[in-house]
Amino acid sequence: MSYIRKPAARHPSLRPNALGLTLRDYEGAMSTMCAGCGHDSITAAIVRAFHETDTPPYMVAKLSGIGCSSKTPTYFLSGAHGFNSAHGRMPAIATGAAAANRALTLIGVSGDGDSLSIGLGQMSHAIRRNVNMLYVIENNGVYGLTKGQFSASADRGSKSKRGEPNTQQSIDPVMLALSLGATFVARSFSGDKDQLVPILKAGLAHRGFALVDVVSPCVTFNDHDGSTKSYLYTREHQEAAIEMSFVPHRDEIVAEYAAGTTREVAMHDGSVVRFSKAPEGYDPTDRRSVMDWLAEHQSSGAVPTGLLFLDPGANPEMHAASKTPDTPLTELPYESLCPGAAALESLQRGYR
């Protein structure tokens, strides 16, 4: 276990956010991951992202499937409703929750087995439907709870702990999401909190499906030589394809661009994503240029990271497509849903 329960005493350095809540208020139960697990770093980044975006914990629904990654929602936001569902089925359950109450902030935490094998269909269709949620894949290339089988994200030629090579083609969630029309696609590394936290914050602000694939090494089963999801390999091959900063809507948006800013994208809630240091020919709002660039760079073994693609207007969010009112369906009074006896009487005149 990677850390013990923290003392209830409030450290003076804990800064309250706009809601008066400190980072501690966004934490959850004690983690039961292995010491050094990448997932714990992601949990910490999620805690920070929710704190810094002033999200009220009770308005958050945190959902997951089955697997090591899917255990982690217990370890953040104890004030939020959680749903540890069934293997690969979280996207559908999240879709239903989103349909019922659009005011909720949904975060789904999944793994490469959960999302790319048993739940590949559901994740793909949640992307297609553009369900408004932040979807984090804690990607370690391996099945941890069943002790080390390759997952569908394991790269061809990479080796298992016992030295056995993976002979099958890997599924890359980033390229998959791009081809499915995802409107927010990012990849990061659990060991790079500076990059991950702003991506998660932008993902929360994004109206639609925000896919964040996070390489998250498994210290027990996939952190050896020959693995392409180890700490060492990822540190050596990670390459920030593009940098970004997230400017929340409450901050004054200054007119001039920061040095190196190549593009700004306004989010639906008024916040802004500022891209910088984009390589030549790379436009983070142009799906094709992103796919071409990634295809070329990934073939050499590089692990390009960053908020790789963002186009909030590319595809309407599920509720926009369904023309549902701003008021959540759960809040509609019954009287506005039931046509009543008189309407039934007149309807039945047509059943004669």
Sign of CA dihedral 136, 222, 299, 194: positive
DSSP string of 41-83, one letter each residue: HHHHHHHHHHHHTT--GGGEEEEE-SSHHHHGGGGB-TTSEEE
Q: Which is nearer to another protein, 26 or 231 (CB)?
A: 26
- Shortest Cβ distance from residue 227 to another protein (Å)? 29
- Cα(122)–Cα(138) distance, integer angstroms: 17
Size of the site for another protein (CB under 8 A): 60
* Site stretch for another protein (CB under 8 A), options 58-66, 140-148, 272-280, 308-316: 58-66
5 binds another protein (CB under 8 A): no
Phi-psi domain of 69 (left: phi exceeds 0; alpha: psi -120 through 50; beta: other):
alpha
**CA–CA distance, 108 with 96 (Å, rounded to integer):** 13
Q: Tell me which of 45, 46, 47, 93 binds another protein, using CB under 8 A.
A: 93
Choosing from 55, 72, 85, 315, the residue that interacts with another protein (CB under 8 A) is 85
Selected from 84, 276, 285, 289, the binder of another protein by CB under 8 A is 84
Whole-number minimum distance, CB 171 to another protein, in Å? Answer: 17
Residue 81: beta bridge partners?
61
Binding segment (CB under 8 A) for another protein, from list 2-10, 222-230, 255-263, 322-330: 322-330
248 lies in the site for another protein, by CB under 8 A: no
CB of 62 to another protein, least distance (A): 9
Q: What are phi and psi of 324, to 5 degrees?
A: -75, 155
Residue placing its CB nearer to another protein in the complex, 279 or 325? 325
Q: Which of 30, 59, 253, 258 binds another protein (CB under 8 A)?
A: 59
Minimum gap (Å) between residue 207 Cβ and another protein: 16
Contacts 24+ apart (CB under 8 A), 321-325: 321/129, 321/130, 322/99, 324/99, 324/102
Nearer to another protein, 92 or 244 (CB): 92
Among 68, 94, 182, 308, binds another protein (CB under 8 A): 94
Interface with another protein includes 266 (CB under 8 A)?
no
CA 73 to chain centre: 12
Cβ(298)–Cβ(172) below 8 Å: yes
Residue at token pair 């996207």: 91
Please measure the distance between the N-terminal and C-terminal CA atoms of the chain and give it in whole angstroms.
Answer: 69
CB of 78 to another protein, least distance (A): 7
> Residue 131 Cβ, how far from another protein at the closest point, in Å?
10
Residues 123, 92: Cα–Cα separation, whole Å: 8
Instruction: State the DSSP code for 168.
Output: S
Residue 15 interacts with another protein (CB under 8 A): yes or no? no
For residues 326 and 101, give the distance between their C-alpha atoms in angstroms, rounded to a whole number.
10
Residue 104 makes contact with another protein by CB under 8 A: yes
Handedness of CA 260, 265, 270, 272 (dihedral sign): negative
Whose Cβ is closer to another protein: residue 28's or residue 173's?
A: 28
Site string for another protein, 129-168 (x = CB under 8 A): x---------------------------------------
Point out which residues bind another protein (CB under 8 A).
56-61, 63, 73-74, 78-86, 89, 91-101, 103-104, 121-122, 124-125, 129, 318-319, 322-325, 328-330, 332, 334, 336-341, 343-344, 347-348, 351-352
